Amino acid sequence: MKTIESLGDLKDKRVLVRSDFNVPLDADKHITDDGRIRAALPTLKTLLDAGAKVIIVAHLGRPKGQVNPDFSLAPVATRLAELTGVKVTLAQDTVGESAQAAVAALEPGNIVLLENVRFNAAETSKDDAERAAFAEQLAALADVFVSDGFGVVHRKQASVYDVARILPAASGLLVAKEIESLGKAVNDPERPYTVVLGGSKVSDKLGVIANLLGKADRLLIGGGMAYTFLAAQGHEVGTSLLEEDQIDTVKGYLDTAKANGVELLLPVDTVVAPEFKADAPASVVAADAMPADQMGLDIGPKTRELFAQAIASSKTVVWNGPMGVFEFPAFAEGTKAVAKAISDSDAFSVIGGGDSAAAVRTLGFDESTFSHISTGGGASLELLEGKTLPGIAVLDD
């Protein structure tokens, strides 16, 4: 995969950077987690120090191809200026008159942030020609392209894939680090290799589980998806999240794990409540003795201990998906216990983006105690599945 060095001398060059600035905002449009912006800084600093004119293309939210002020990148522009200490100009459009004027006036060592690329329907179009035409407009703004939005490299979109086919293209430092770290965990793990999977649905992680059953030494299953596994074993799961149409698939996974010698650990106890509410009265029950009128919202204390011991004895740990409803303090202990166990371990650890990365930050853990925190939930999942990512493959062409 080509890196920034392959682009040669960038002094006075216009460099189009695809970043992932899809950050969470509160009701007042304040950024509540700037992790993705901070993750982009090493690449941006490298380009700025080289004397490049940096033009950033990024998205926020799902405006569905329509201009929507609720999804403006204005808060990102403000925070980016604070973090970089350079002038950041926000264009009022992506490829129109405002963008063209801003780029024309751009001085080396400064940044133009184009307005939300997903305000343009062609960005995510399934029509190759429509996407390519929009990519040509983006490419006209720059001399070279740097792909640094790992959270979108699994998408065949104009600003991710098509632009890289038009301009000289390379990966940014963030994308290179993501591929190296996830590749090390997936393709060359030091053993024992443990994968912790959580989140709400088994169906979101079918490909990951199928792939890992041939690679991992241990699979630890928590979160809402664990109840489909417990149901597959014949246990009552009450009103917990359950995907009945996946029970037969899960039974197959249990059989495959046994046949392959993969240790598959499920909750032995669970925190239940009568309803999905932050202040719902919680109690702990054995995983094989759940009341029919209760729902599981977190792994229990014995499971936390079991999972922590498995993590402590591992040399490589990959974690994707929370163990419970960590947004509710009463049901955050399982996720906290897994995060602490990984943080305390000497293993090479990868936190697979999305809710897991958010949990690490929300629960106050020191990010430096993890080997790598991915910025892309969907992209990291697809890598764990063994899939080829379009935005990466195009950089190898």
Catalytic residues: 36, 201, 354, 378
149 has binding-site annotation = no
53 has binding-site annotation = no
61 has binding-site annotation = yes
218 has binding-site annotation = no
30 has binding-site annotation = no
306 has binding-site annotation = no
118 has binding-site annotation = yes
207 has binding-site annotation = no
How far apart (Å, rounded) are the C-alpha atoms in residues 315 and 194? 8
191 has binding-site annotation = no
How far apart (Å, rounded) are the C-alpha atoms in residues 376 and 389? 12
Long-range contacts of residues 229-233, Cβ cutoff 8 Å, at least 24 apart:
229/202, 229/253, 229/254, 229/266, 230/266, 230/267, 230/287, 230/288, 230/290, 233/266, 233/288
How far apart (Å, rounded) are the C-alpha atoms in residues 370 and 194? 15
How far apart (Å, rounded) are the C-alpha atoms in residues 79 and 149? 17
From the list 87, 79, 5, 20, the residue with the least C-alpha distance to 54 is: 87
333 has binding-site annotation = no
> In this structure, are residues 278 and 330 in contact, taking their beta carbons and an 8 Å threshold?
yes
From the list 178, 204, 227, the residue with the least C-alpha distance to 36 is: 178
Distance of CA 371 to CAs 40, 151, 156, 343, 382, Å? 17, 18, 29, 9, 20
> In this structure, are residues 374 and 351 in contact, taking their beta carbons and an 8 Å threshold?
yes
How far apart (Å, rounded) are the C-alpha atoms in residues 376 and 174? 11
162 has binding-site annotation = no
60 has binding-site annotation = yes
Residue with tokens 């990951």: 208
How far apart (Å, rounded) are the C-alpha atoms in residues 47 and 6? 13
Length, in residues, of the chain: 397
115 has binding-site annotation = no
38 has binding-site annotation = no
Query: Which DSSP category does 368 fall into?
Result: G
215 has binding-site annotation = no
Helix or strand holding residue 295 (H, E): strand 295-299
356 has binding-site annotation = yes
205 has binding-site annotation = yes
Q: Which residues are annotated as a binding site for ATP?
A: 205, 296, 327, 353-356
Q: Which residues are annotated as a binding site for substrate?
A: 20-22, 36, 59-62, 118, 155
Q: Which residues are annotated as a binding site?
A: 20-22, 36, 59-62, 118, 155, 205, 296, 327, 353-356
